[in-house]
């Protein structure tokens, strides 16, 4: 390594480097929006905890930070060279540089500890007993991370679907422990959008023009009594009572249900229009491939063929698949409900 700053070059040289450094700083530092700050508490106390890094995040550089910092802490003189692209990036990116400072401070404290004793304790043992607003935040973080991974993979013309899928599945499982429907909706608000980034999804699901897109009417679970208050998946206030063992679906004025008969998940749609009557339909469960415990009819949740045509009254009752999950179990029901966050149907031709 040839570092004139460390090894002591002439003052004239140092002056030149400073000039060059100033110029370099100017070209690297483009005007950027300030770091997205976590939401501040509103007066009404309704503030949601927002993600800090969501849109200003450079995955490949960020994940190199711990190794770079450890090399610096080990006084590895080659570190600036080994991590040269990261070093240039840190000069250019305010968010990643801020994260670097934060991590450096914490890793320094870990490697060179002052005498402290960790505040250990038993804590809570289950996700259900953990504050649900923090489960919602965790789900959002996982979904956002999955998005970053997919965007990075796309940028580098690589495939990293497995890593992103695993995070989305974890987000789904975590969100299933949230009993309050509004929090659960908040937790999964970006799920469908991020799932569209999967190459498979963008080709097979979006190519078919759907006649109807159904979304679930989110139910508040967590109690065993029947007849919980529900709200529609969008923000409209639409409360009525439902049976907890049923997932209610809506597509504008159309309604439907998913019920369970033994292991079979059955789709029931009503008042379908004239053009669909007498025809078979193709059903696509957009997030179906994320949920492994469901064995979808035909094997592809993106194209489930109805076993019967729509009858003369516009009703369709057809199986979607089988599962060991139970709609009567609140957490399992939440998991299934999230999976049916977007269900499209179109006429089979």
Partner 1 sequence: MPFTAHDLRYRAEQSYPLLYAYLHRNAQRFLGALKYDAFEVDTVIGHVVEQLVRLGILGGEDRTPLTALDNLSDAQFYAFLSHSVRNKAIDRLRKRRLQVSSTAELEGSDDSEADNNPITDAVESLWGTTPFSTPEEITLRISSQLELRNVLKHCILALNAAPNQLQAVMQELHEFGADDFILLLAEELHFSFDSERNPHISQHKDHAHKKLRLCLQRQSSHLTVAVALRITMYTVKHPTEKNRYEVPIQMLAQDDFSVQDVQKALYALVDEGLIDWHGEQKVQLSSDQLKRLSRFYKEE
Question: Site residues for partner 1, window 147-186 (CB under 8 A)?
Answer: 148, 160, 162-163, 166-167, 170, 173-174
Calpha distance 153→151 (Å, rounded)? 5
Among positions 145, 289, 297, 306, the unique one binding partner 1 when judged by CB under 8 A: 145
Calpha distance 196→207 (Å, rounded)? 12
**Residue 189 sits in the site that holds partner 1 (CB under 8 A):** no
Q: How far is the CB of 154 from partner 1 (least distance, A)?
A: 16
Structure tokens at 169: 């599945």
DSSP class of residue 88 equals H
**Residue 25 sits in the site that holds partner 1 (CB under 8 A):** yes
Q: What are phi and psi of 323, to 5 degrees?
A: -155, 155
Q: How far is the CB of 242 from partner 1 (least distance, A)?
A: 28
Q: How far is C-alpha 346 from the chain's CA centre?
A: 27
**Residue 72 sits in the site that holds partner 1 (CB under 8 A):** yes
Q: What are phi and psi of 266, to 5 degrees?
A: -120, 135
Taking residue 165's Cβ as centre, other Cβ atoms within 10 Å add up to 17
Decide whether 114 or 239 has the Cβ nearer to partner 1: 114
**Residue 197 sits in the site that holds partner 1 (CB under 8 A):** no
Decide whether 105 or 223 has the Cβ nearer to partner 1: 105
Which range touches partner 1 (CB under 8 A), out of 8-16, 179-187, 247-255, 331-339?
8-16
The site string for partner 1 over 42-71 (x = CB under 8 A, - otherwise) reads: ---x-x-x-xxx---x-x-xxx-xxx-xx-
**Residue 100 sits in the site that holds partner 1 (CB under 8 A):** yes
Decide whether 110 or 305 has the Cβ nearer to partner 1: 110
DSSP-derived 3-state class of residue 212: strand
Place of tokens 């490949």: 60
DSSP-derived 3-state class of residue 283: strand
Q: How far is the CB of 342 from partner 1 (least distance, A)?
A: 24
Among positions 32, 44, 76, 90, the unique one binding partner 1 when judged by CB under 8 A: 90
Longest Cα–Cα distance of the chain, Å, equals: 92
Taking residue 222's Cβ as centre, other Cβ atoms within 10 Å add up to 17
Which range touches partner 1 (CB under 8 A), out of 80-88, 178-186, 298-306, 334-342?
80-88
Q: How far is the CB of 289 from partner 1 (least distance, A)?
A: 17
The count of C-alpha atoms lying within 13 angstroms of the C-alpha of 172, restricted to the half-sphere facing its C-beta, is: 28
Radius of gyration of the chain (CA): 26
Q: How far is the CB of 33 from partner 1 (least distance, A)?
A: 17
Which range touches partner 1 (CB under 8 A), out of 107-115, 206-214, 255-263, 330-338?
107-115
Decide whether 9 or 314 has the Cβ nearer to partner 1: 9
Structure tokens at 108: 């320094």
**Residue 134 sits in the site that holds partner 1 (CB under 8 A):** yes
**Residue 84 sits in the site that holds partner 1 (CB under 8 A):** yes
CB 59 within 8 A of CB 148: yes
Using CB atoms within 10 A of its CB, is residue 332 exposed (0-12), middle (13-18) or buried (19+)? middle
**Residue 115 sits in the site that holds partner 1 (CB under 8 A):** yes
């Amino acid at each position: 390594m040839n570092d004139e700053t460390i090894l002591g070059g002439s003052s004239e040289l140092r002056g030149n480097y400073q000039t060059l450094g100033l110029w370099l700083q100017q070209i690297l530092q483009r005007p950027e929006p300030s770091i997205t700050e976590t939401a501040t508490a509103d007066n009404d106390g309704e503030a949601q905890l927002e993600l800090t890094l969501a849109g200003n995040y450079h995955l490949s550089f960020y994940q190199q930070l711990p190794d770079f910092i450890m090399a610096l802490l080990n006084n590895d003189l080659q570190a600036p060279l080994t991590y040269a692209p990261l070093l240039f990036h840190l000069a250019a990116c305010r968010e990643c540089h801020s994260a670097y400072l934060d991590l450096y401070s914490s890793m320094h404290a870990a490697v060179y500890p002052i005498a402290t004793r960790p505040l250990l304790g038993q804590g809570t043992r289950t996700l259900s007993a953990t504050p649900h607003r923090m489960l919602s935040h965790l789900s959002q973080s996982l979904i956002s991370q999955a998005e970053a991974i997919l965007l990075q993979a796309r940028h580098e013309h690589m495939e990293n679907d497995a890593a992103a899928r695993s995070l989305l599945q974890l987000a789904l499982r975590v969100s299933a422990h949230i009993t309050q429907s509004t929090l659960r909706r908040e937790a999964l608000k970006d799920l469908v959008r991020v799932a569209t980034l999967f190459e498979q999804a963008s080709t097979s699901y979006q190519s078919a023009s759907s006649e109807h897109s159904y979304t679930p009417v989110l139910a508040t679970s967590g109690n065993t009594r029947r007849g919980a208050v529900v709200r529609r998946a969008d923000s409209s206030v639409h409360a009525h009572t439902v049976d907890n063992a049923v997932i209610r679906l809506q597509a504008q004025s159309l309604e439907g249900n998913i019920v369970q008969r033994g292991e079979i998940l059955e789709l029931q749609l009503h008042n379908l229009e004239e053009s669909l009557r007498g025809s078979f339909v193709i059903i696509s469960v957009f997030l179906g491939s994320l949920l492994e415990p469901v064995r979808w009819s035909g094997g592809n949740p993106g194209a489930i063929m109805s076993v019967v045509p729509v009858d003369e009254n516009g009703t369709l009752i057809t199986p979607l698949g089988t599962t060991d999950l139970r709609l009567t179990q609140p957490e399992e029901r939440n998991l299934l409900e999230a999976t049916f966050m977007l269900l499209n149907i179109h006429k089979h031709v």
